[in-house]
Structure 1
Amino acid sequence: MNAVTLAWTLLRGGGRKGMLGSVLTLAAVGVTTTLLMFAVAGNFAFADRAERTAWRTPVPAGQVETARQLSVLDMVDGRPMTVVYLTATGSGAPPVPPGMDGFPAPGELWASPELAALLERLPADQLADRFDAPVTGELGDAALVHGNELVAVVGVASDSPVLSARPLDGETVVGISEFGTDAASETYRLYQSFMAVATVLMVVPLLVFGGAAARLTVARRDQRLASLRLVGATPGQVVRVTVAEAILTALVGAVAGAILYTAVMPLLARIPIDGGPWFVADLWPPLWATGAVIVAVPLLVGLSAVVGLRRVVISPLGVARRQTPPGIRAARLLVLVAFVGAFLFMSSRFLGMGALGSLLMLVLLAGVFGAINLVGPWVVSLLGRVTALAARRPAPLLAGRRLVDDPRSAWRTVAGIALTGFVAGFTVLLSPQLTGYAEDRTLLTVSVPTTQVEAVTASVATVLPDGAKVTGTNEVEGVSLVDVETPVDSAAIDRFRTEVAQIAPGSPTMGTDDWVRFDDQLFTDVKTGVLVVLCVSILIAMVSAAVSGASSVLDRRQVYGLLHLSGTPMKVLNSARRMETLLPLAVMGGGSLACGMLMAMPFSSGGEIAGNLALLFTVVGFGVVGVVGASAVSRPLLASVMRNTPPRPD
């Protein structure tokens, strides 16, 4: 009988409790795969968005230019609007912009769906008159970051005054032969860096949880495999059977997780970043990445199962007799101290090292995660000894003895929330505060040819509200920067922008509040990312607690049954199980939280610390309640185990 056939036989012949254990493993692997695909897909999604912004950044033609391009940033209705002006040079066939059927002719206006709707909704003097052209066509998704984006492509003549404009964002007309493909905006390069950090914060706990899935119902499997060793099975045969059983179960769970991710993609696409939701297609990773996840998770589970077999292979008799395994060495703590010290030492040097610094930061961050997971069982074991020595009632004594006897199992129950505490402490201090906008007055700046300054000044008096005035004019190389102070009136300011666009095409008006909005959009996105990472971490913690709690009952069902037969009340057993969760949760959760805050200190954005701490305590409190509630889900299973335990002759 080969290993796969024997593993399948053992899975089918494990009885109802054995099948329940396999279902728990399958569920854990499924959740791990779903969330892992989300973390991986986020990187590809931001890369896709970055690629779709690249065409707006002109790349100078190498030899022969076939078109000229000017991309400017404008504002309307308090929202940013990208306007791309294009003209063919007649030197050859011009390139076709993404999302369009052909190169725009002079007088043509292509608008994104959201901009087209806004053109119909707003009065012409607030928006449409800036283009002085009807909408010719609608831009496709290939030209847009998201469906809510405001983008316009305008075809102009080669002698149009817009081609000599000097917008405030510093862009100038560039001769091109193709649209940029490697010139992603600085903003999206920053988003991609943030996503890389978020990936580490999500993936490492997921890998820990996925590895722990292989050790669910570990006692039941160890007993069974130890029996095989005692009847003559070789260590190699035991390893092969274990790997086959773990991978069979995990593969089914991984496929189920991928299917679940497909089902929830439309919901995940609603998470707003950069002012709008995602295209659903952005959140589906390439087939090779999807396949890699589906293959990697079962391999991780199989490897973790093999690592846990050392006791069975070396001492099957000890497993069969339920001997307490050797204690965990305190040297694990040195690993954590080393990684934290290295991270803090390098914290002031990461930015100056470029890409290498970013990579090193991610590696050290992942190392701290791994070290916390390594130290956790040792802390749990130490906590169990202290609890057992100080116990004066049955429940603390039982809890302490169980923590000492199997610290790894107890750690698996609370590992999720402990790692969540680290994520919460690290990310919340990085979450910046919004700047806020002017309440009554704002300062507008216009860049126009010096010959048009009088016309702009006249518009200030006729278009803007009473009290608006020109506060300064600065001439630079034939272009004047005109500063205008005005009461805040969104409609009037949009009319003024339109008036200036007609006086000096390609010269948008920007206000101090507009620049604040750009910063606040980034800050809002960082906060959204922090909340997403924390929600994923809490979900991992809750599922881990629920699955590990149920698995623990199955592993100890004989012990619980004997305690019940000897007269131990259900209340005492539940109290002991609750303490097994809460004691490590308080110590390791608090320690991980403090560790995360310590490591985030060098990068803290400052701002309103009270608001950050309020968010921190809210998230941690919700996580603790969720984990305790998830652990309580296994109480009916414990009652069932105790009811169905028959008396033993001994």
Structure 2
Amino acid sequence: MIPFALRLAFSGGREAVARLLMIAAAVAIGVGLLLSTFSSMNAIDRANERQVWMNTGVQGATAATSADPLWWGARVDYYRGKTVFRADLAPTGPNSPVVPGLGRLPAPGEYYASPALEKLMRDTPAVELGDRFPGRLAGTLGDDGLPSPDSLAVVVGRTVEEVGALPRATTVTGVATALPTDCESACYGAGVHGDRMVLVLTVVAAALIFPVLIFIGTATRLSAATREQRYAAMRLVGATPGQVSVMSAVESTVAAVIGTAVGFGLYFALKPVVAEVPFTGDRFFASDLSLTLPQVAVTVLGVPAAAALAARFALRRVTISPLGVSRRVTPKPPSPWRLIPLVAGLAELGYFVGSKPATTNGQSAAYLTGFVLVMLGLMTAGPWLTMATAQAVARRTGRPASLIAMRRLSDDPRAGFRSVSGLVLALFVTTGTLAIMGTINANQSTLNGAPEVRKAIVDVPFGNKEDAVTLPSVPDRVLARARAVPGFQGIALIHDNPARIGAFQQGERRMVPSLVDCAELARIPVIGHCAPGAAVAAVDPYQLVDLTDSSGHEWPAAAISGAEVAELPVRMLYATTDGSETAKEQLRTLFMKEFPTYEPRLAEDWASEGQKKLQSWRQLANVVLLTTLPIAGCSLAVSVVAGLSDRRRPFAMLRLTGAPLQLLRRVVGLESALPLLAVSALAIGTGFAAAAMFLKAQMSYDLVSPGLTYFGLVGFGLAASLAIIASTLPLLGRITGPESARNG
């Protein structure tokens, strides 16, 4: 039967070849996207594995042991919003552990930098970046120790005494080889929290694969009526249901095998492009985008099997009753029970608004299940909504084209909805994606603080408050160099308050203010001013660390003289600039070089990681939108053409009985446009509802309107869809001639 089925598959001339190519193209797109998603998940895992060493010394991280301990001091630095990982190391013997990517540890006065950091230092004045790292550049940190070619990392060689003086410094007997179970806030590395990104990629894969599966199903049904008649005739002359099933499956399986092979080629062609997409905020190494044997096996075996099942399902009426095909019995109308999956998915998302699972895995299962249920619900509810809308319109119209179109939709709403199902799902995905991204962007995209605060830099002790090391004093030469920086405006030394002068009760905590000379405070009005006649002010150190704009705030006077304050240890330095990146980074570099136990911070540093994650969400949203909408448009075009091809004889009969061609075009247009507009409204509303519940449950954000971009995109998509429908109408004139009306 298989050779005979292959002969039939290719014996239909250009129509059969076009159908095979269409199915193969749909499968190729699906396979290419699926493999790209699989490889991206694998790349995240490999990126995490290569940066585990950065978490050496983190409580709970496991590490191999070596004979000679290694002094380890790690921290995160920033440059113009970019994160720089820095590890200061001091071996205690020849057998101290070596970090991945290095052949040996740097000696005191040497450092190794990642290729991206090397390039950045070459392109940047040393006073802004390079001077932060003592000694000379001795070599390059290899790819084995970097999660991404964009990673900024440096390993600095120091003496045991220098590293031991750093806060949080510790001795280790090996670099970390595995992360602790929970390192949400303690671990270093941009991609170390990869579980959430893998979850997002899983949801993205579902969002991409659903339209592709619809496209495959649509292409499989191309010329279904012609094939149904052919197979029904075979049944009538003695072919068994099993033989018909084999023949119907062979065509789709052959096309799926061809499409799978092309899909692998598409994956390899897209691999360099995917590597450049910063899903985690940084690019992937191209070598990390690889596939596992189970993933390849699932794709190679599963896709053709799914295509065969789709063909079997599409032509199931033939195997049940060949006479049913010739009689064209009206299908059973869909029932309101089809709304249950949609309601269940929305109910699940709504339930978790007030009772979010405590664990990340629990949240992943909850939201993934909810969104998949909603998407399935849209597919099952679409035919019922199409039928209900068609019946409602039919009761309020008397035009022939409208009556014919509505009657046909009422008789077979599944076929009417099938043509627009891919676009409806794409609208849901687009609405949900842009609504979520717009809300997150509105809540997280702005930098901390007011404009004047973003011009300031605060230098505070590095480490926990308990082990923070304050400065005995700040040398005059350092202050002179700070004032010489172009763009410098003012600096104030915030002194420690060991005598607890001006302490007061704030809730359950005894608040001990820091002290600042009023003459210095007058030069940086962004943090407030002194009371009239006061020499020293008592300021809230927490408010200063948060870089809060306190302009206009009057700090109370402290009962201490300016000369006495000058003798107290320095808790922090607060400097202001004209806002230029050059001034801020020069001051940061100066402070880091002079005070290695302190960390200078800008307002944008606190938002840096958030901005990086936000950028990764934007990239994922772009991928979803740029993929689902074109696929949905192709699916719509194929569906409309397939519908016209399958109904050429009924339309030809109508033309022979006197129906004008323009009437038939209006019928086809209404049959396609009504389900599109009716179910699109449901998909858009559902997308907003699902997004609102997800945002409220996961982030406690209220839904923010996605803005003109979204409405413009949706409007363009609907207009383009109607244009696609209109572009197929000229086919009616060619396929409804008298020759199409003859029996056969």
TM over 0.5: yes
**Residues 1:443 and 1:312: Cα distance change in structure 2 (over 3 Å):** same
Shift of 1:567: 4.0
**Residues 1:445 and 1:94: Cα distance change in structure 2 (over 3 Å):** same
Equivalent residue in structure 2 for 1:435, among 438, 442, 446: 446
User: Contact between 2:110 and 2:156, CA under 8 Å: does it hold in 1?
Assistant: yes
**Residues 1:541 and 1:649: Cα distance change in structure 2 (over 3 Å):** closer
Equivalent residue in structure 2 for 1:110, among 84, 109, 112: 112
**2: distance between equivalents of 1:419 and 1:483?**
55
**2: distance between equivalents of 1:369 and 1:412?**
14
Does residue 1:398 correspond to 2:381, yes or no?
no
1:140 aligned partner: 142
2:316 aligned partner: 310
Once the two structures are overlaid, the 10-residue window that deviates more, 346-355 or 483-492, is 346-355
Shift of 1:551: 2.0
**1: distance between equivalents of 2:739 and 2:682?**
39
Opposite residue 419 of structure 1, the aligned amino acid is L
**2: distance between equivalents of 1:86 and 1:558?**
81
**2: distance between equivalents of 1:197 and 1:583?**
30
Shift of 1:211: 4.0
1:167-222 CA distance string (max 9 Å, x none)? xxxx6445141343446755444433433333333333433443444333322222
User: Contact between 1:108 and 1:154, CA under 8 Å: does it hold in 2?
Assistant: yes
Superposition CA RMSD, Å = 3.1
Opposite residue 490 of structure 2, the aligned amino acid is A
Mapping 1:327-406, distance limit 5 Å: 327-406=333-412
User: Contact between 2:494 and 2:570, CA under 8 Å: does it hold in 1?
Assistant: no
2:252 aligned partner: 246
Opposite residue 446 of structure 2, the aligned amino acid is T
**2: distance between equivalents of 1:42 and 1:150?**
21
**Residues 1:110 and 1:570: Cα distance change in structure 2 (over 3 Å):** farther
**1: distance between equivalents of 2:342 and 2:79?**
52
Equivalent residue in structure 2 for 1:76, among 67, 75, 79: 79
**2: distance between equivalents of 1:290 and 1:452?**
63
User: Contact between 1:269 and 1:279, CA under 8 Å: does it hold in 2?
Assistant: yes
User: Contact between 2:72 and 2:171, CA under 8 Å: does it hold in 1?
Assistant: yes
Q: Secondary structure at the match of 2:354?
A: coil
**2: distance between equivalents of 1:334 and 1:271?**
38
Mapping 1:212-291, distance limit 5 Å: 212-291=218-297
User: Contact between 2:394 and 2:406, CA under 8 Å: does it hold in 1?
Assistant: yes
**1: distance between equivalents of 2:497 and 2:225?**
80
Q: Secondary structure at the match of 1:69?
A: strand
Shift of 1:606: 7.9
2:572 aligned partner: 482
User: Contact between 2:276 and 2:284, CA under 8 Å: does it hold in 1?
Assistant: yes
Once the two structures are overlaid, the 10-residue window that deviates more, 134-143 or 490-499, is 134-143
Does residue 1:120 correspond to 2:117, yes or no?
no
Shift of 1:632: 4.3
User: Contact between 2:488 and 2:583, CA under 8 Å: does it hold in 1?
Assistant: no
Equivalent residue in structure 2 for 1:131, among 126, 130, 133: 133
2:166 aligned partner: 165
1:24 aligned partner: 22
Does residue 1:559 correspond to 2:668, yes or no?
no
Which sections of structure 2, spanning at least 5 residues, go unmatched? 181-186, 463-468, 499-567
In our comparison, the structure showing a higher alpha carbon Rg is 2
Opposite residue 119 of structure 2, the aligned amino acid is A
**1: distance between equivalents of 2:232 and 2:75?**
71
1:322 aligned partner: 328
Opposite residue 576 of structure 2, the aligned amino acid is T
User: Contact between 2:5 and 2:247, CA under 8 Å: does it hold in 1?
Assistant: yes
1:447 aligned partner: 461
**2: distance between equivalents of 1:336 and 1:149?**
43
Bigger proportion of residues as helix = 1
Once the two structures are overlaid, the 10-residue window that deviates more, 86-95 or 334-343, is 86-95
**Residues 1:396 and 1:511: Cα distance change in structure 2 (over 3 Å):** same
Opposite residue 155 of structure 2, the aligned amino acid is V
**2: distance between equivalents of 1:190 and 1:130?**
34
1:297-324 CA distance string (max 9 Å, x none)? 2211212222334322222101122222
**Residues 1:603 and 1:356: Cα distance change in structure 2 (over 3 Å):** closer
Does residue 1:641 correspond to 2:735, yes or no?
yes
**2: distance between equivalents of 1:430 and 1:333?**
24
Once the two structures are overlaid, the 10-residue window that deviates more, 70-79 or 171-180, is 171-180
**2: distance between equivalents of 1:62 and 1:379?**
62
User: Contact between 2:214 and 2:635, CA under 8 Å: does it hold in 1?
Assistant: no
Equivalent residue in structure 2 for 1:178, among 175, 178, 201: 175
**Residues 1:287 and 1:135: Cα distance change in structure 2 (over 3 Å):** farther
Q: Secondary structure at the match of 1:221?
A: helix
User: What TM-score, normalized to structure 1?
Assistant: 0.89
Equivalent residue in structure 2 for 1:513, among 587, 600, 604: 604
**Residues 1:540 and 1:164: Cα distance change in structure 2 (over 3 Å):** farther
Equivalent residue in structure 1 for 2:634, among 522, 530, 543: 543
**1: distance between equivalents of 2:139 and 2:49?**
22
User: Contact between 2:485 and 2:583, CA under 8 Å: does it hold in 1?
Assistant: yes
1:87 aligned partner: 90
Shift of 1:332: 1.0
Shift of 1:631: 3.6
2:418 aligned partner: 412
Shift of 1:11: 0.4
Q: Secondary structure at the match of 1:323?
A: coil
Once the two structures are overlaid, the 10-residue window that deviates more, 47-56 or 609-618, is 609-618
**2: distance between equivalents of 1:371 and 1:553?**
27
Q: Secondary structure at the match of 1:599?
A: helix
Shift of 1:515: 0.9
Once the two structures are overlaid, the 10-residue window that deviates more, 23-32 or 198-207, is 198-207
Opposite residue 86 of structure 1, the aligned amino acid is L
**Residues 1:393 and 1:282: Cα distance change in structure 2 (over 3 Å):** farther
**2: distance between equivalents of 1:464 and 1:342?**
57
Give the number of equivalent residue pairs.
Answer: 641
Which sections of structure 1, spanning at least 5 residues, go unmatched? none
Shift of 1:121: 2.1
Once the two structures are overlaid, the 10-residue window that deviates more, 426-435 or 458-467, is 458-467
Opposite residue 77 of structure 2, the aligned amino acid is D
**Residues 1:235 and 1:479: Cα distance change in structure 2 (over 3 Å):** farther
1:555-606 CA distance string (max 9 Å, x none)? 2232333334444444333332222222111111110111121122233368
User: Contact between 1:541 and 1:627, CA under 8 Å: does it hold in 2?
Assistant: no
2:70 aligned partner: 67
Opposite residue 436 of structure 1, the aligned amino acid is L
**2: distance between equivalents of 1:335 and 1:80?**
44
Shift of 1:225: 1.7
Equivalent residue in structure 2 for 1:573, among 649, 664, 687: 664
Shift of 1:461: 4.2
2:623 aligned partner: 532
1:515-548 CA distance string (max 9 Å, x none)? 1233222223223322322222212211211222
User: Contact between 2:341 and 2:376, CA under 8 Å: does it hold in 1?
Assistant: no
**2: distance between equivalents of 1:599 and 1:479?**
54
User: Contact between 1:7 and 1:244, CA under 8 Å: does it hold in 2?
Assistant: yes
User: Contact between 2:459 and 2:600, CA under 8 Å: does it hold in 1?
Assistant: yes
**Residues 1:646 and 1:591: Cα distance change in structure 2 (over 3 Å):** closer
2:717 aligned partner: 623
User: Contact between 1:420 and 1:537, CA under 8 Å: does it hold in 2?
Assistant: yes
1:469 aligned partner: 491
Q: Secondary structure at the match of 1:87?
A: strand
Equivalent residue in structure 1 for 2:46, among 37, 45, 48: 48
